[in-house]
Chain A
Amino acid sequence: MSKRDRTPKTYTRLTHPLVRDARDEPFRRASWEEALDRAARGLARNRGAFGMFSCARATNEMNYVAQKFARVVMGTNNVDSCNRTCHAPSVAGLSAAFGSGGGTSSYEEIEHTDVIVMWGSNARFAHPIFFQHVLKGIRNGARMYAVDPRRTSTAEWAESWLGLNVGTDIPMAHAIGREIIHAGLANEAFIERATTGFEEYKALVEPWTLSLAEKVTGVPAAAIRELAHAYARAERAQLCWTLGITEHHNGTDNVRALINLSLLTGHVGRYGSGLQPLRGQNNVQGGGDMGAIPNRLPGFQDILDPDIRLKFESAWDTVIQPHYGLNLTEMFEAMEDGTLKAVYCVGENPAQSEADSEQAVRRLKALDFLVVQDIFLTKTAELADVVLPATAGWAETDGTTTNSERRVQRVRKAVTPPGEAREDIDIICDLAARLGHDWKYADAETVWNELRSVSPDHYGMTYARLEEHQGIQWPCPSTDGLEPTYLHGRLWEPDPAERGPLAPFGIVQHDPPVDLTDEEYPIRLTTGRRLDSYNTGVQSGGYASPLRRGEYIELSPEDAERYGVVVGEQVQVTSRRGSVTAPVWVDPALRSGLAFMTMHFPDEVDTNALTIEANCPIAGTAEFKASAIRIEKLPIATIVG
């Protein structure tokens, strides 16, 4: 099929600071002095109504300095990053169960496991090199099961693909749990030793018979039963998920429902058995680890713990607010009600990445002051008062990032940044100095060593050791040794003292998607990634991928026929929030009533004009995965192709 002619928007690098006196004026070039002075003034006058958007794409060191800026310079815990839009529920769910927000296993372990469950994850496209480890596992004899509304490339590798209705993950998980219990396959020794709340959980899942689950999820009972038995009977099993689980209004509940299955079967805390949420951005794990989230200090240490606060207060010579700050979602709400007036946004593009993007833009415009620090003039930067040109974290600076298996790895400067662009840390420090805090960091390693001194989980990771081991996974409390590749081995300890806090079953209820389908909006729209593109396309638009074909509304062959539309034909796509036109693509992996779009080409089709900002009350993540839409033929057929 021929690709349509597209003139995709490409972004060129920012090479000098930009400022303007009023939002309706155009930007003008400014010196660093002027730009930083303006930024400092704008932030200073909004002390107490400030929020920091840190960057899940930048280094750990930058995130550490950014959260320190928020907490020390601005005196607030209002710091967050785009992890909110993807995996915050994973972090919330995992920390609720195990006290720590990272995936419990390592990539290598999946090569040596027996059963792999990929739930709401098209890792073949979204995490291709992780999927290579999965493929090694499959080649070594592991059986893989895929749970996904679409029969994705990932699902095509599965022994069994279960095509559930969007937003019915909890019924599916509960039915699997019930089946495991009824078949006598629950790991009673582990439940007894390492968990709490089993009786309550048992009562919770009891109504979820296979036949009820079949009615709700649409998946045959036999398929659910087979998955339940395969997972429970496996000697080792890995449960992996991605945004199909988290980008729901009840994302944290979804995560808890999956964790329950690992507690029920003892598939956690052992080599080859574990839980693996796959992180969507190069440093979304590290951003949280560094404390660039409203409820944790660096090293994933709880702000509410007075001893922890004391440690940081003496290290930073400051007072830390003894309560959680606002998360990204809450900060946007606070913009609406005017209690948040200034934002320092580093490397994020919320104007396009937030659900219900029109609303997000309106709220950003309402700010008194917005400073954006980025490598491109993004849609968000276009709304700013001051734009500061930064370096590309991965190729133009030194530092570290942390991947999905908690491995901290070195990033190194390979090219010189263009024009007057400067390193994020230097810019933040210059701003801090203007606001009365004179921080001296000779280089990224100095920042890292400061972090090591306050974070026990990172203490053992010197730059030299990171180099030597090609990255080290946390926790790494000692400079002499390495810990196991998996977390929570403690749960298997016979000695209760070493076992530590037990893992509670999550008592979570099914709650269908907020945006219900009905006669007016009969089609369920879900979203995801493609192989060659990434997020809002600002980065990935820069190279000429032969696979790229731009944004489409992907329909099942049956729906295309029903609406009388063909590949390439422009149609009107409307949700309860907005409407866009998009060309049609037909994908046999979809069933009737299910449509698919990405957020890769917001300059062509603003998919997030359709999505709903129904947020997970615990983690704040929006329900990107479930909108209700309708498709309409345009009065005059336009075919691109």
Chain B
Amino acid sequence: MDLHFGDSKPTDEERAAVDALLGPPESSWEGADRSDADLRWARGGREARDRRDLLLPGLHAINDRVGWISDGALDYLCRRLTVPPAEAYGVATFYAMFSVKPRPATVLHVCTDLACAAAGAPELCAGIEERLGLGSGVSVQRSPCLGLCERAPAALAIRAGDPVRTAVSAPATVHDAVLAASAPDSAPQEPPAGLAVPQAGQDGLMLLHRVGVVDPASLDDYRAHGGYTALRRAFELGPAGVIREVTDSGLVGRGGAAFPTGRKWQATASQPDRPHYLVCNADESEPGTFKDRVLMEGDPYALVEAMTIAGYATGAHRGYLYLRGEYPRALHRLEHAIAQARARGLLGDDVLGQGYAFDIEIRRGAGAYICGEETALFNSIEGYRGEPRSKPPFPVEKGLFGKPTVENNVETLVNVLPILTIGAPAYAAIGTERSTGPKLFCVSGTVERPGVYELPFGATLGDLLALAGVRDGLRAVLLGGAAGGFVRADELDIPLTFEGTREAGTTLGSGVVMAFDDSVPLPRLLLRIAEFFRDESCGQCVPCRVGTVRQEEALHRIAERTGAAAADDIALLREVGRAMRDASICGLGQTAWNAVESAIDRLGAYE
């Protein structure tokens, strides 16, 4: 491609960061010194254009090393990958974790989202900003949910360098957060993942039984606790047999849409187009959700094994694990686990000696809630802006790189292990008829023991909150996160199943259960939700791009109003919300108004 580059040149450090990812440039056309051979023969074309998917890893490489992405660095990366600089600029500016303007090497992300806001994030933030002003060498950024709700309020420090360093402070104090930002290496270690599971070690857990029990770094420990029996069973059953088991188990997707997993696998497996891809959606960004993080940090091999099984069943030889950019510990655990599995022949050309080839590549997100949408995630992996695609065609037909793709979230995949080890009938006997199996819930807010809970489908909201130790003065519970809905404190008998929540006019979503007492003003929470969607709208379609702005404006206007004074704006919210739900391209716009609507209708906000 005849790309245009400006005069900006990369620094040695930026060049080294890119070369560390891509290897040294092969010719002067890619950025090496000029040689006579280059001036006689140059390769390009299809092969050169086919590496676009390394753009996002390349941006990470620069950002990790330098802390921001300069013109020269971006141009060099583009030259290496044959990507137009304008497009790369469009991609770089899409993600919240990247900056195309100079900034300090250390960025402290302070969560100001729902659970943290309820736990004093505004004061924390103000305190930190006072200590880490200009010249402190730290850039403080108010962040959407960091997925650390069980330890709210939370802060995440990222210091660019070689290697990049991170430190988590949660629950954070001003002192701890400042320490984490100014000396990430000497900040205290995070508590083990098991501490996020109040039930850890209890009998009968199927998804969490190893979390807090096994050494997450040890493949042998994993195998000593039943690891890789499911994969062996899968090879006995054959791909069709695995799909039959998963179909018969009644497993449905745990990401929120509740689509039958077996059907999705079958549809992908039967596509004649090749290759097939498996994508694990670990871009857990729904405010209030942190179960996938806990699973990945506490039992990483389970995900590796489950992805291998899913790939085997659907005819994929390559799996992509799209991991949220704000999950540094999950990244390290999984990088280690994948390397170990590869070393032991559990990934690679001949998995378990069965003649099946499968490998997993981790791709990091970079701060975009929308990339949790399955087709936006494909675009993100492919090196484009994380904008959702129009469906149909659906991913099973044209997904990643335009090929048949099965995409599942972490929790869904991990459910496959017990299905294969205990068999579909036994699994299907758990839970209710239409919601089978165990379910993970992310409980946070005003409860004594926040964390991830595993309960069979069918337990009530009250059961769950009792386990977590709900505090007095419960005002409302948010189910399903920012895209979910509020229920009242007197609705605790709602059964936590897909059908039960649907009947009650709410949603289970991704399993968020966030409790609020009356200490937090409801309008402020609703405004935070509206801000979240305004910030996270990709901007592609009008109803969502402008609608989220108009909704936030209306909620600002009525923050201090009630009754007739708010009526006009509530009518406006409803009209705009209806168009967003009906006419937006993807689930983000379609659900952005759900929580606010439920607060008005169910909780009587602004009355």
Closest A residue to B39 using CB positions: A591
Closest A residue to B41 using CB positions: A223
Q: Does A110 contact B (CB under 8 A)?
A: no
Once the chains are docked, how many angstroms separate the CA of A138 from the CA of B39?
23
Residues of chain B contacted by A220 (CB below 8 angstroms): 37, 40-41
Q: Mark the stretch among A153-161, A383-391, A434-442 that contacts chain B.
A: A153-161
A562-591 near B? 1/0 per residue, CB < 8 Å: 000000000000000000000000001001
Contact yes or no, A156 B2, CB < 8 A: yes
B189-217 near A? 1/0 per residue, CB < 8 Å: 00000000000000000000000000000
Closest A residue to B44 using CB positions: A158
Residues of chain B contacted by A592 (CB below 8 angstroms): 39
Name the distance in Å between B420's Cβ and chain A's nearest Cβ. Answer: 41
Q: Does A71 contact B (CB under 8 A)?
A: no
Residues of chain B contacted by A591 (CB below 8 angstroms): 36, 39-40
Contact yes or no, A157 B45, CB < 8 A: yes
Residues of chain A contacted by B39 (CB below 8 angstroms): 151, 163, 556, 591-592
Residues of chain A contacted by B40 (CB below 8 angstroms): 162-163, 218-220, 223, 591
Residues of chain B contacted by A154 (CB below 8 angstroms): 2
Once the chains are docked, how many angstroms separate the CA of A148 from the CA of B46?
19
B23-45 near A? 1/0 per residue, CB < 8 Å: 00000110000101101111111
Contact yes or no, B41 A156, CB < 8 A: no
Q: Does B7 contact A (CB under 8 A)?
A: yes
Contact yes or no, B36 A143, CB < 8 A: no
Q: Does A248 contact B (CB under 8 A)?
A: no
Residues of chain B contacted by A219 (CB below 8 angstroms): 40-41
Contact yes or no, A1 B34, CB < 8 A: no
- Chain B interfacial residues counted at CB < 8 A: 18
Of B7, B37, B41, most buried by chain A (CB within 10 Å of CB) is B41
Contact yes or no, A156 B34, CB < 8 A: no
Residues of chain B contacted by A157 (CB below 8 angstroms): 1-2, 44-45
Contact yes or no, A159 B43, CB < 8 A: yes
Contact yes or no, A163 B44, CB < 8 A: no
Q: Does A144 contact B (CB under 8 A)?
A: yes
Residues of chain B contacted by A124 (CB below 8 angstroms): 2
A215-235 near B? 1/0 per residue, CB < 8 Å: 000111011000000000000
Please tell me which one of the listed residues B3, B7, B34, B44 contacts residue A159 in the complex, with CB atoms under 8 A apart.
B44
Contact yes or no, A161 B2, CB < 8 A: no
Name the distance in Å between B578's Cβ and chain A's nearest Cβ. Answer: 40
Please tell me which one of the listed residues B7, B34, B44 contacts residue A588 in the complex, with CB atoms under 8 A apart.
B34
Closest B residue to A151 using CB positions: B42
Please tell me which one of the listed residues A153, A218, A222, A588 contacts residue B2 in the complex, with CB atoms under 8 A apart.
A153
Residues of chain B contacted by A138 (CB below 8 angstroms): 45
Question: 8 Å CB contacts to B: which residues of A198-257?
Answer: 218-220, 222-223
Of A124, A556, A591, most buried by chain B (CB within 10 Å of CB) is A591
Q: Does A333 contact B (CB under 8 A)?
A: no
Residues of chain A contacted by B28 (CB below 8 angstroms): 588
Once the chains are docked, how many angstroms separate the CA of A473 from the CA of B561?
73
Known A-B contacts A124-B2, A156-B1, A220-B37; A161 and B44 likewise in contact (beta carbons under 8 Å): yes
Question: 8 Å CB contacts to B: which residues of A154-183?
Answer: 154-163
Known A-B contacts A1-B7, A124-B2; A159 and B37 likewise in contact (beta carbons under 8 Å): no
Once the chains are docked, how many angstroms separate the CA of A557 from the CA of B37?
15
Q: Does A558 contact B (CB under 8 A)?
A: yes
Residues of chain A contacted by B36 (CB below 8 angstroms): 591
Please tell me which one of the listed residues A143, A153, A558, A588 contacts residue B45 in the complex, with CB atoms under 8 A apart.
A143
Residues of chain B contacted by A556 (CB below 8 angstroms): 39
Closest B residue to A164 using CB positions: B40
Name the distance in Å between B8's Cβ and chain A's nearest Cβ. Answer: 13
Once the chains are docked, how many angstroms separate the CA of A153 from the CA of B2?
5
Contact yes or no, A158 B45, CB < 8 A: yes
Closest A residue to B6 using CB positions: A1
Name the distance in Å between B171's Cβ and chain A's nearest Cβ. Answer: 53
Once the chains are docked, how many angstroms separate the CA of A1 from the CA of B8?
11
A588-624 near B? 1/0 per residue, CB < 8 Å: 1001100000000000000000000000000000000
Name the distance in Å between A130's Cβ and chain B's nearest Cβ. Answer: 15
Name the distance in Å between B34's Cβ and chain A's nearest Cβ. Answer: 7
Contact yes or no, B41 A162, CB < 8 A: yes
Contact yes or no, B34 A558, CB < 8 A: yes
Contact yes or no, A160 B34, CB < 8 A: no
Contact yes or no, A163 B41, CB < 8 A: yes
Question: 8 Å CB contacts to A: which residues of B41-81?
Answer: 41-47
Once the chains are docked, how many angstroms separate the CA of A153 from the CA of B43?
14
Once the chains are docked, how many angstroms separate the CA of A220 from the CA of B43?
12
Name the distance in Å between B76's Cβ and chain A's nearest Cβ. Answer: 15
Closest B residue to A214 using CB positions: B40
Please tell me which one of the listed residues A143, A160, A557 contacts residue B42 in the complex, with CB atoms under 8 A apart.
A160
B1-14 near A? 1/0 per residue, CB < 8 Å: 11100010000000
Once the chains are docked, how many angstroms separate the CA of A223 from the CA of B41?
7
Name the distance in Å between A566's Cβ and chain B's nearest Cβ. Answer: 14
Known A-B contacts A143-B46, A151-B29; A156 and B3 likewise in contact (beta carbons under 8 Å): yes
Contact yes or no, A156 B7, CB < 8 A: no
Name the distance in Å between B80's Cβ and chain A's nearest Cβ. Answer: 15
Residues of chain B contacted by A223 (CB below 8 angstroms): 40-41
Closest A residue to B28 using CB positions: A588
Residues of chain A contacted by B34 (CB below 8 angstroms): 557-558, 588
Once the chains are docked, how many angstroms separate the CA of A349 from the CA of B388?
56
Residues of chain B contacted by A161 (CB below 8 angstroms): 41-44
Question: 8 Å CB contacts to B: which residues of A124-160?
Answer: 124, 138, 143-144, 151, 153-160
Once the chains are docked, how many angstroms separate the CA of A155 from the CA of B34?
17
Name the distance in Å between B344's Cβ and chain A's nearest Cβ. Answer: 40
Closest A residue to B29 using CB positions: A151
Q: Which 10 residue pairs across A and B have the least CB separation, nearest first?
A: A159-B45, A153-B2, A591-B39, A156-B2, A161-B42, A223-B41, A163-B40, A220-B41, A219-B40, A218-B40
Other contacts beyond A160-B45, A161-B44: 15, CB < 8 A: A155-B42, A157-B44, A158-B42, A159-B46, A159-B47, A160-B42, A160-B44, A162-B41, A163-B39, A163-B40, A163-B42, A219-B40, A219-B41, A222-B41, A223-B40
29 A/B residue pairs, CB under 8 Å, sorted by A: A1-B7, A143-B45, A143-B46, A151-B29, A151-B39, A153-B2, A156-B1, A156-B44, A157-B1, A159-B45, A159-B46, A160-B41, A160-B42, A161-B41, A161-B42, A161-B43, A161-B44, A162-B40, A162-B41, A163-B40, A218-B40, A219-B41, A220-B40, A222-B41, A223-B40, A588-B34, A591-B36, A591-B39, A591-B40
